[in-house]
């Protein structure tokens, strides 16, 4: 999984060192628990701060990029908020009245879920915040069950342990935060500061024509006719995804605020981040940004007009790509020009993934198996293709989890889009979440990492919380 790293890959330490590291982690978690119990708003702020940072750990010839800082924050959040609430629910069941914990709705988690569970018999309920939660948990459960027959059980188990389960906890915690306008702006401020810093590092890389991290991209830059930066990310596209989502959120503020100072500050941030995005040469990130901006325009002004303008922009962009000279490096012309070259080999990966799906359509080859099965079915494939996912999440899901997984994936998308967009037109925070999710979704269709990305679970957690507050009339004034 391509991701942000705080350092070069390190090997697992010895038993003594590992014990010391675990002891240090426990101390950090304990300190965070104390902080979060005293200041409940600390959890979302620290979670946003920790979202990008990963540490690659090498073991048994495989490198897994682990979000160590985020794991510590999630563990502390679970101990500070989820565990007390679960104990409170048990006490309430036994006849002891439990008080809502920090971030809890006034009627408590149990009451809200009990009322909504009564209506789960109706299909429309799956398009509610509670229904989306159940679909997400179903996706995790199905992934766990299908791991049993995966062609790469080690990778599937690693994905489950290091991504799906921790991110599900992250979602549950974000969902229960009592979001206010001030807290949302503070979280956005942290994300903006990170984006500005990351873009600045990218500018240094571009000026020096040297990357700080990621040997693969370093090697690729030696053969390409253009230089791609990735800041401190291991992947230019993941770097671009982060910048694009932050830019969508900042644009929401610019479009809905009235103070000139805020507009000018937002415009400066957008110009800086856009320059950083351009130096990444991430086509998928630029597409995600444009879709997010189109969603914002449709909700801010007019849907029909936005569709017309978007169609015109797409037509103009297609014409430029088709007519552009080979010197612009779009990959369609010149030596080796082809759609495969223009998409960095992704068309071959997609066709290979569809072939895998056709061979085992019902259950697929199991989670995490795309790399193994692609190598086995394409022995002549290049090293780059042989070690990649399909770069199109629906194709990856189809090849690995078959119709079963694909069905859950489709229901998840439908539920998420309905929950995030329904009734969001009058709430700028909900609009920002919905537009960002739309951009992220497009990015996963042209690159990778959907439920393997904590950004997905964070957006859904905040979106479910805001949508649930709107449904029950407890929404804050934003």
Per-residue confidence in pLDDT tens, the chain, 478 aa: 433 343 334 455 556 667 777 888 899 999 999 999 999 999 999 999 999 988 777 655 566 678 899 999 999 999 988 777 776 766 655 554 334 444 444 444 444 444 444 444 555 677 888 999 999 999 999 999 999 999 889 889 989 999 999 999 999 999 999 999 999 999 999 999 999 999 999 898 888 877 766 655 554 554 455 578 887 787 888 899 999 999 999 999 999 988 899 999 999 999 999 999 999 888 899 999 999 999 999 999 888 888 888 888 888 877 776 666 655 555 555 555 545 445 555 677 787 888 888 899 998 999 988 888 888 877 654 444 444 556 789 999 999 999 999 999 999 999 999 999 998 888 999 999 999 999 999 999 988 889 999 999 999 999 999 998 877 666 544 5
Q: Classify each residue of 172-207 as buried b or exposed e, where b means 16 or more C-beta atoms within 10 Å of its C-beta.
A: bbbbbbbbeeebbeebbebbbebbbebbebbeebbe
Instruction: Judge whether 50 lies within some domain.
Output: no
What pLDDT does residue 177 have?
92
Which of these, 138, 172, 247, lies nearest to 457 by C-alpha position?
Answer: 172
Q: How many domains does the chain have?
A: 1
Instruction: Judge whether 273 lies within some domain.
Output: yes
Please list the alpha-helical segments (H only) found in 281-426: 283-300, 303-323, 339-342, 346-359, 370-377, 383-386, 393-421
For residues 63 and 56, the answer to whether their CB atoms sit within 8 Å is yes
Instruction: Judge whether 106 lies within some domain.
Output: no
State how far the Cα of 109 lies from the Cα of 104, in Å rounded to an integer.
7
Instruction: Judge whether 419 lies within some domain.
Output: no
Show the tokens assigned to 266: 């937002």
What pLDDT does residue 181 have?
92
CA 273 to chain centre: 18
Instruction: Judge whether 407 lies within some domain.
Output: no
For residues 172 and 461, the answer to whether their CB atoms sit within 8 Å is yes
Residue 100 burial (CB count, 10 A): 17
Instruction: Judge whether 161 lies within some domain.
Output: no
Instruction: Judge whether 409 lies within some domain.
Output: no
Query: 71-76: long-range contacts at Cβ-Cβ below 8 A with a sequence spacing of 24 or more?
Result: 71/166, 72/25, 72/28, 72/29, 72/32, 73/32, 73/43, 73/46, 73/47, 74/47, 74/166, 74/169, 74/170, 74/173, 75/29, 76/28, 76/29, 76/32, 76/33, 76/35, 76/36, 76/43
Q: Which domain holds residue 220?
A: 181-342
Instruction: Judge whether 7 lies within some domain.
Output: no
DSSP state of 12: P
């Amino acid at each position: 999984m391509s991701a942000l790293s705080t350092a070069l890959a390190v090997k697992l330490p010895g038993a003594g060192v590992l014990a010391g590291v675990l002891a240090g982690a426990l101390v950090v978690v304990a300190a965070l628990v104390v902080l979060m119990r005293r200041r409940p708003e600390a959890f979302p702020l620290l979670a946003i701060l920790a979202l990008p940072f990963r540490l690659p750990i090498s073991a048994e010839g495989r490198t897994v990029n682990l979000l160590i800082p985020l794991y510590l924050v999630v563990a502390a959040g679970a101990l500070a908020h989820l565990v007390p609430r679960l104990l409170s629910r048990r006490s309430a069941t036994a006849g002891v009245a439990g008080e809502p914990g920090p971030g809890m709705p006034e009627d408590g988690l149990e009451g809200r879920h009990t009322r909504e569970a009564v209506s789960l018999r109706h299909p429309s309920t799956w398009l509610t915040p509670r229904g989306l939660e159940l679909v997400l948990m179903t996706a995790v459960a199905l992934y766990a069950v299908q791991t049993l027959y995966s062609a790469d059980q080690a990778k599937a188990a690693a994905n489950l342990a290091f991504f799906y389960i921790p991110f599900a906890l992250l979602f549950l915690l974000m969902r229960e935060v009592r979001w206010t306008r001030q807290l949302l702006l503070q979280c956005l401020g942290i994300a903006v500061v990170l984006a500005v810093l990351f873009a600045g590092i990218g500018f240094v890389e571009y000026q020096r024509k040297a990357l700080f991290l990621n040997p693969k991209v370093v090697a690729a830059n030696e053969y390409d006719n253009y230089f791609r930066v990735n800041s401190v990310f291991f992947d230019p596209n993941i770097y671009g995804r982060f910048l694009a989502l932050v830019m969508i959120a900042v644009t929401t503020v610019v479009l809905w605020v009235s103070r000139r100072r805020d507009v000018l500050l937002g415009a400066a941030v957008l110009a800086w981040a856009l320059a950083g995005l351009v130096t990444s040469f991430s086509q998928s990130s630029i597409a995600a940004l444009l879709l997010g901006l189109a969603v914002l325009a449709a909700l801010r002004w007019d849907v029909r007009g936005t569709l017309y303008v978007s169609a015109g922009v797409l037509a103009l962009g297609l014409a430029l790509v088709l007519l552009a000279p080979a010197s612009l490096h779009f990959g369609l012309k010149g030596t080796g020009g082809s759609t495969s070259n223009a998409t960095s080999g992704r068309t071959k990966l997609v066709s290979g993934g569809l072939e895998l799906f056709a061979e085992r359509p019902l259950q697929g080859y199991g989670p995490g198996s795309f790399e193994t099965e692609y190598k086995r079915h394409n022995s002549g494939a290049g090293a780059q293709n042989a070690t990649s996912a399909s770069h199109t999440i629906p194709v990856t899901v189809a090849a690995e989890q078959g119709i079963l997984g694909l069905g859950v994936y489709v229901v998840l998308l439908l539920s998420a889009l309905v929950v995030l967009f329904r009734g969001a037109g009058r709430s700028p925070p909900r609009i920002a979440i919905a537009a960002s999710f739309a951009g992220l979704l497009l990015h996963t269709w042209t690159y990778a990492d959907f439920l393997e990305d904590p950004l997905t679970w964070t957006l859904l957690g905040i979106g479910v919380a805001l949508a649930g507050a709107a449904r029950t009339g407890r929404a804050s004034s934003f």
